[in-house]
Every structure is written in C-alpha cells, then in structure tokens.
Amino acid sequence: MPLDMDSKLKTVLIGSSGTSNAFSSVLSLRRNWNGNVKIVAVDSNPRNLVTSSLLCDKFYQVPETCKPEFRDAITQIIKEENVDTYIPFIDEEIFVLALLCEENILNRNLCLQVKDHKIADLCNDKLKTYEWLSEMNILTPESFRLNPAIVGDGQYVIKRRRGFGSRIIRLSDVKENLTQYSPDDFIIQYECEKPEITIDVCFDQKRSFFSYICRERIETKGGVCTRARLFYDESLEKTAYTIADKLSLNSFCFQVMNYKGDWAVTDINARPGAGTGMSVAAGMDFFSAMFAILWDEDPAQYIRPLKKETFVTRQYSDFIMNI
C-alpha cells in the first residue's frame, strides 16, 4: 500500500528484508526520512512472514539469492519500481548485485555500497579474506584449502568458505573422514578463542568522517548477538580504518577473535550486521549513517559517540502479520 508520494522521493529496495538488520534499516528510514522515501522490500519468504513488510510500501517474494532466477527477478523489480538505492543484507546478494552493476544490467548510478564484484567476493569468501588480510598485514587466523595431506595436529576447525553463521566443525572430530567435505566449499582455519568482537564501522571518505564501535558478543542465539558490551579499542580502530579505506566500504562490520593472544580478523561483512541495531540503541545509528553517505548527506548527525562502556541486551517483539 504505497504512501502518498511524489516523483522527488527516493525509492529504496531492502534486500533480504526478513533479516533483523533489514528491519533496523526500515525503522531508521521511517524515523529519519519518514514518508519521503518509498520502501520496496524483497525476501524469499512470503510477505506475512517478513516483519519489515509492515512498514514498507511494496513487497515482493523473490527466489533465494543463491538461485539463478534471483538475478532476473531482482533486475525486473529494480526497473519496474525505479529503485535508486539498494541495500542488500546477505553476502551472496551483495555479490550478485555487484555483478549486475558491472555487467551494466543495472544502472551504474544505482546507490549501492559494493559495485565491485571482487570486493564482494573477497568479503564473502573466507579464504580470499584471509589472503587479502595477510597481504594488508592485518592479523588473521591461519587458513588454508582443505587438504588432508597438510593437516597438522594443531587446533583447527573446518568452516564453509562462503556464507555466514556457519556451524564450526573441529578438525580433530572429522579427521578420519575428510572426504565428505569438498575442498571447493570448505577451508581449514586455526581455531580462535573467545571473546568474539564485532566492529560496526561508518566511513565517509568524502567528508573525512570515520566512526566505529566494538561490540563484544557476550551471548549469541542462532548466530546473532543478544547480549553485548560496547566499547572503544584503539588497535581495532586502526584495523577498522584500514579495511574501510582499502576496500572502499562505508557501512560494514567485521569480526575479531583472540588468536594466540592478539586480535585477529575472522570475517568481513560488507553490510551492517544483525547485531548492529544494538549500537543504535546506544545512540550510534549506523543504519541512518549508511543512508546518509549513499545520499551525500552528513552521517555525523546520526552517530553520538559513547561516553562510557555500555551493555546492551536484545529482546524480541511479537507482531501479528495478518490482522
């Protein structure tokens, strides 16, 4: 049900709108740009299973991002709805969108954070992330292709190369039966130790504005942080700036864990995280800042630096989707 709109409005497409970060984005759009933005949401789930759709003007159910039909479906929606800003929330989706831009299937003027498929791929592929971080001299846990011949006795885990929130498999548990894991899909990585910290980052190169916050994942449920400690750390700030600058990312998060006594980067997500909403609660609205950067507005107005270490917990709300 579209709001009363005129032609000057921005049209934002929220990808994977069933995710919690998508819902936070929609809230931030309605809070700060209210009715002056038309929101189109897509998800692989039907509308009545996607909370964000309650605040959106249009909703489309689309094929999963990993399916080839997704490309055509999303291209058609972008064209039909005159979408000028696209916010993808799944790493595979970021990659597909970057490809579509590079292939000139989508308008190059589309506001989209990652338009270079190599950067999208680098963030989505843990092995490539490892290689890039090593090249940049940023500490990252030793990672290599799954190869039984070089498996040592160290503290290693098997991880999917792509995707997020993957289950960790200890190498020692499956060492005798490694053939079940395809070397194309899995890597071996040194197992880091807790705590796990996510760093939310906002970087506007044009305005020389940089902000970040570290979020210790005290508790996670289903891979999403539910209890967090927010704080600043100078060494992580430096790492955040380097990643933002070298990859030209303006709104993203990355994870670090304890690796032999130091912070090592384990993951880079070219998007706000599922727990980024917890930073918003503390006054650091990374979602609004993301839109501000994409639309050449000042992001600083949305970020109020923390005055003290802050603890944030998350509780879920219930919504009836078909009244």
Partner 1 sequence: MNSGIVFDLDGTLITCGNKQKFVLYSVLNAMDDHTAYNPEAWWALKREGMNTEKALAELGFLNAKTISDQWKMEIEKSVWGELDKPFEDSLPTFKYLKESQGIDIIILTARKYKYLVLQKIFTYGFYEFIDDLIVVDPFRVVEEKRKYLEKIKPIVYVGDTELDYFSATGSGVRFIALTRGQRSRTFLNTVGDMQTQDNLKFLNNINYLCLLLKDRQIQI
Instruction: Dig out the tokens for 111 from the structure.
Output: 């506001």
Provide, rounded to whole angstroms, the least separation between the CB of residue 258 and partner 1: 30
Instruction: Dig out the tokens for 71 from the structure.
Output: 């490309």
Per CB under 8 A, the list member of 12, 13, 40, 56 interacting with partner 1 is 56
Q: Does 49 bind partner 1 (CB under 8 A)?
A: no
What string of DSSP letters covers 73-93? HHHHHHHHTT--EEE--SHHH
Burial class (CB in 10 A: 0-12, 13-18, 19+), 139: middle
Instruction: Dig out the tokens for 3 from the structure.
Output: 């709001």
List beta partners, residue 303: 284
Provide, rounded to whole angstroms, the least separation between the CB of residue 28 and partner 1: 8
d(CA 1, CA 56): 8
Q: Does 317 bind partner 1 (CB under 8 A)?
A: yes
Q: Does 106 bind partner 1 (CB under 8 A)?
A: no
Question: Which residue, 47 or 159, has its beta carbon nearer to partner 1?
Answer: 47
Per the CB < 8 A criterion, the answer to whether 274 and 225 are in contact is yes
Q: Does 53 bind partner 1 (CB under 8 A)?
A: yes
Question: Which residue, 46 or 152, has its beta carbon nearer to partner 1?
Answer: 46
Question: Which residue, 141 or 273, has its beta carbon nearer to partner 1?
Answer: 273
Q: Which stretch binds partner 1 (CB under 8 A): 22-30, 163-171, 215-223, 266-274?
A: 22-30
148 phi and psi angles, rounded to 5 deg:
-55, -30
Interaction site with partner 1 (CB under 8 A): 1, 3-4, 27-28, 30-32, 34-35, 53-56, 280-283, 304, 307, 317, 319-323
